[in-house]
Amino acid sequence: MAFFLIKKIFTMFKWLEKNLPKIVMAPAVGLIGWFVYGFVLWTLYISFTNSKILPKYELWGFGQYEKLWASRKWLISVDNLLVFTALFLIFCIVIGIILAIFLDQKIRAEGVLRTIYLYPMALSFIVTGTAWKWILNPTLGIQKMFIDWGFENFTFDWLVNREMAIYTIVIAGVWQSAGFVMALFLAGLRSVEDEIVKAAKIDGAGLFTVYWKILLPMMRPVFFTSFVILVHISIKSYDLIVALTQGGPGISTTMPALFMTQAAFHKSQVGLSAASAMMMFMAVAAVIIPYLYSELRRENAR
């Protein structure tokens, strides 16, 4: 009997030892499985119900999605998101590339400049939003500064202007993230071997040609990465809008992420908010899945 027990314990230990790596992995896989995949499916389910204040579980079909796309506020959110994403992408990438190329010219005090360009990434969007809200303040901010300098008719009221408020979010967003693109491109440029540039110069290529014809085309993966990350940031933009405009004036700067939390936690439209969350999820997935696929292929090819 005792022998039997010992043998049993022994085989148990053997089994444990053999499967230890998998056992160690289990919590992470379980947590992500439940809290990411399980929750996304849960949200998907809620989006098919007619939930108001609390989730209900009788299926209701696509009603929430129909309501969503008939909602003026949602359409404005999507419109704003498209405008914001386009401008945010263009400015971040253009500024990021310019700064990276210029910094790559054996600049004095490169370290200091780099630190300055990138420090906004260390701040939260709430801090950024608070600062820019003060700077863009129509009575005491930039407008007053220019008026005091003698430009008496200078007006800069974008923050409280329905048509222009969305651009203040672009200004603050670009301020926060352009340095990040710079860092990505600088790392990319530095990883190119010197011989390639030297050979091109011997062939008589000017600096402009070297960058435009040789180096930038080589940066295609960096473009791709920046694009994916910036689109991802912009679809998720929430904090910055809350801190800067709260979606206002009116609903002129509302965005999907803001729409989602407002519907869920202020307006008792849980089903509708789940539907909007699923739309955001699908938008991100449409960008991310091709990215992950190509990254994995690149890694496997290596």
Partner 1 sequence: MQDNYQSSSYKELEQKSKYTNIFLRWFLYFVLILFASYFIFPLYVMVVTSLKTMEEIRQGTLLTWPSSLNFDSWLVAWGGRGYGAGDTFLRPYFWNSIKMVVPAVFFSTFIGAMTGYVLTKWRFRGDQWVFLFLLFGCFIPFQAILLPMARTLGTLGISNSVVGLVLVHTVYGIPFTTLFFRNYYISVPTELVKAARIDGAGFFKIFFKILLPISAPIIVVTVIWQFTQIWNDFLFGSTFSFGEAAPIQVALNNMVLSSTSVKEYNVDMASAIIAGIPTLIVYVLAGKYFIRGLTSGAVKG
113 binds partner 1, rule: CB under 8 A:
yes
Q: Smaller CB distance to partner 1: residue 163 or 271?
A: 271
Cα–Cα distance measured from residue 55 to residue 17, given in angstroms and rounded to the nearest whole number: 44
Binding residue for partner 1, selected from 59, 145, 196, 218, defined by CB under 8 A: 145
User: Helix/strand/coil (H, E, C) string of the chain?
Assistant: CHHHHHHHHHHHHHHHHHHHHHHHHHHHHHHHHHHHHHHHHHHHHHHCECCCCCCCCCECCCHHHHHHHHCHHHHHHHHHHHHHHHHHHHHHHHHHHHHHHHHCCCCCCHHHHHHHHHHHHHCCHHHHHHHHHHHCCCCCCHHHHHHHCCCCCCCCCHHHCCCCHHHHHHHHHHHHHHHHHHHHHHHHHHCCCHHHHHHHHHCCCCHHHHHHHHHHHHCHHHHHHHHHHHHHHHHHCCHHHHHHCCCCCCCCCCCHHHHHHHHHHCCCCHHHHHHHHHHHHHHHHHHHHHHHHHHHHHHHHC
Total number of residues binding partner 1 (CB under 8 A)?
A: 95
Q: Smaller CB distance to partner 1: residue 2 or 38?
A: 38
119 binds partner 1, rule: CB under 8 A:
yes
Tell me how far, at minimum, the Cβ of 132 lies from partner 1, in Å.
6
Binding residue for partner 1, selected from 12, 75, 94, 116, defined by CB under 8 A: 116
92 binds partner 1, rule: CB under 8 A:
no
82 binds partner 1, rule: CB under 8 A:
no
Binding residue for partner 1, selected from 64, 254, 262, 273, defined by CB under 8 A: 273
Binding residue for partner 1, selected from 99, 100, 170, 272, defined by CB under 8 A: 99
Binding residue for partner 1, selected from 6, 12, 36, 53, defined by CB under 8 A: 36
Binding residue for partner 1, selected from 69, 148, 155, 297, defined by CB under 8 A: 148
Cα–Cα distance measured from residue 284 to residue 272, given in angstroms and rounded to the nearest whole number: 19
Site for partner 1 in 165-194 (CB under 8 A): 175, 177, 179-180, 183-184, 187
Binding residue for partner 1, selected from 68, 76, 87, 95, defined by CB under 8 A: 95
35 binds partner 1, rule: CB under 8 A:
yes
Tokens standing for residue 58: 């009788």
Binding residue for partner 1, selected from 50, 161, 225, 252, defined by CB under 8 A: 225
Site for partner 1 in 2-31 (CB under 8 A): 17, 20-22, 24-25, 27-29, 31
272 binds partner 1, rule: CB under 8 A:
no
184 contact partners, CB below 8 Å, separation of at least 6? 96, 222, 225, 226
Of the ranges 7-15, 71-79, 80-88, 266-274, which one interacts with partner 1 (CB under 8 A)? 266-274
Site for partner 1 in 120-139 (CB under 8 A): 120-128, 130-135, 137
Tell me how far, at minimum, the Cβ of 4 lies from partner 1, in Å.
26
Cα–Cα distance measured from residue 5 to residue 11, given in angstroms and rounded to the nearest whole number: 10
Of the ranges 4-12, 83-91, 153-161, 241-249, which one interacts with partner 1 (CB under 8 A)? 241-249
